[in-house]
Amino acid sequence: MQDIMKKNALSIEKSVSGRRGVRFEQSAKLPQDILPQECLRKTAPKLPEMSELDTVRHFTNLSRQNYCLDSHFYPLGSCTMKYNPKAYDVLSGLDGFASAHPFAPQAGVQGTLELLYNLQELLKEVTGLSAFTLQPAAGAHGELTGILTAKAYFKAHGEHQRAEVIVPDTAHGTNPATSNMAGYKVVNIKSAADGCVDKEALQKVLSDKTAVVMLTVPNTVGLFEKDICEIAKMVHAAGALLYMDGANFNALMGVAKPASFGIDMMHLNLHKSFAAPHGGGGPGSGPVGVAAHLAEFLPKPTVAKVGEKFVLQETMPNSLGKIKAFYGNIAVCIRAYCFLRQYDEKTLRQVAEQAVLNANYVRVLLKDYFPAFFDAPCMHECVLSLQKEKMNGIRTADIAKRLLDYGFYAPTIYFPLIVPEAIMIEPTETENKEMLDLFVKAMKAIFEEIISEPQTVHDAPLHQLVKRIDEVSAAREPNLRW
């Protein structure tokens, strides 16, 4: 039966010689000289030959094998895979936005520039920071922009000896990678026993060589850096700057303004917290906000308002330059603008509170089965670990595969690296209690299976069209053809 189902839904080789979808009338002869002779094909392309119906079924069936937000709960930690209103898609696709030519004169795209300007203002308001650039195309790109902004700042101040960036072990992996790319030496520090920054360890490595300290807040074990205000003071006393990786702003929006922590700069992931999914593989947006003393170093142009007009401000002599062609991924910015216009300060706070409540709800209900690595209230996501002695040889990856059989997309696994057998669950604020209860029920059922029939979990997934792949061979001998 599985074989027939598989062939029906998934077989790739469907082409039959001579089969056609649409036939076009071979009307008037094309002029011979329309393309240079050397550009013309000598042989016909090898395209699949299929009817239109077969083609439509093929792609529709493939798309139905996929797990996506519109079909399944998607608790992928550190990705904020929440529901994003379809209305924002429609609005970002309005002709005036979507058809604007990238080289259109500024007078012809005043509406787009006004929206971008207003978005910058809204981001300033929710973070408390003084200036924003919307250019960066992703979170990691925002980090690079931030670190290069710091570099331009220290260059302007003649502090060329500042060659190090300090990164705690609970930072997102992109933080050390970014610092390295920007030409800095990365200094790692271990966290304290409570999963937060070890201030003594930080003090030991802070010096006049430190350029930036990069803190992921909430950190990758889902905890708020409770000493961040004090850390900011320590960093500033050493003459360095504090960067906050705010990719997961879901947990804080409307509750706290990061500027009040004393940070100098941060990035936001509009494609997580603000109405575009992160794991969708589409374009992202990682705006960078800075405190007043760094504004002049941001990439140019920024969007400014001069009188009643909106302009791309090019006259910024200390700017680090351009970081992206044209001006950011505007369609993502438009969705974020819609989101921030829909929620006022009070309801934005509810978004964060609900995200935090949902994560803690899951954490507490699973406590006796898969306990949190740090037994403390978490922010928007919880990081669980396995009690090895109870697991009958089952590993985190097995549980993730088994969850597919229960109809859930798998959470993030084996991240963060400091947690052995990590399972990172981010329910987001858009899931209701019924869904969370069902997910918890599935996790408990898997726990029971681990005890009574571990082989089932070990062999999962059992009810998917594609069985578990041989990951070792797939990595060592990749066969990318069929």
Ligand X SMILES: *Cc1c(COP(=O)(O)O)cnc(C)c1O
75 to 104: interface string for ligand X, x by CB under 6 A: ---x--------------------------
**Residue (of 364, 346, 358) closest to 431 by Cα position:** 358
Measured from the CB atom, the residue of 68 and 100 that comes closer to ligand X is 68
Residue 221 engages ligand X in binding (rule: CB under 6 A): no
Residue 247 beta carbon to ligand X: minimum distance, rounded to whole angstroms: 3
- Contacting ligand X within 18-77 (CB under 6 A): none
For tokens 């300060």, the residue is: 345
Residue 287 engages ligand X in binding (rule: CB under 6 A): no
Dihedral angle at the C-alpha atoms of 389, 395, 401, 402, nearest 10 degrees? -10
163: amino acid identity, one letter: A
Cβ atoms of 157 and 192 within 8 Å: the answer is no
Measured from the CB atom, the residue of 175 and 302 that comes closer to ligand X is 175
Pairwise CA distance, residues 238 & 110, whole Å: 44
Dihedral angle at the C-alpha atoms of 106, 111, 116, 120, nearest 10 degrees? 110
Which of 164, 169, 245, 429 forms a contact with ligand X (CB under 6 A)?
245
Q: Which two tokens stand for residue 178?
A: 């970014």
Which of 170, 248, 250, 428 forms a contact with ligand X (CB under 6 A)?
248
**Residue (of 216, 251, 471) closest to 351 by Cα position:** 251
Stretch that binds ligand X, among 200-208, 243-251, 349-357, 360-368 (CB under 6 A): 243-251
Buried b (16+ CB within 10 A) or exposed e, 397-432: bbbbbbbbbbebbbbbbebbebbebbbbbbbbbbbe
Residue 75 beta carbon to ligand X: minimum distance, rounded to whole angstroms: 14
252 to 271: interface string for ligand X, x by CB under 6 A: -----------------x--
* Residue number of the CB atom closest to ligand X: 139
Residue 438 beta carbon to ligand X: minimum distance, rounded to whole angstroms: 26
Residue 139 engages ligand X in binding (rule: CB under 6 A): yes
- Contacting ligand X within 387-426 (CB under 6 A): none
Residue 169 beta carbon to ligand X: minimum distance, rounded to whole angstroms: 14
Which of 120, 149, 191, 216 forms a contact with ligand X (CB under 6 A)?
216
| Total residues binding ligand X (CB under 6 A) | 14
Pairwise CA distance, residues 278 & 88, whole Å: 16
Strand order in the sheet with 164-168: 131-133, 288-290, 265-268, 241-246, 210-216, 164-168, 185-189
**Residue (of 338, 334, 323) closest to 137 by Cα position:** 323
Stretch that binds ligand X, among 193-201, 225-233, 244-252, 305-313 (CB under 6 A): 244-252
Q: Which residues bind ligand X (CB under 6 A)?
A: 78, 138-140, 172, 174, 216, 245, 247-248, 269, 278, 284, 286
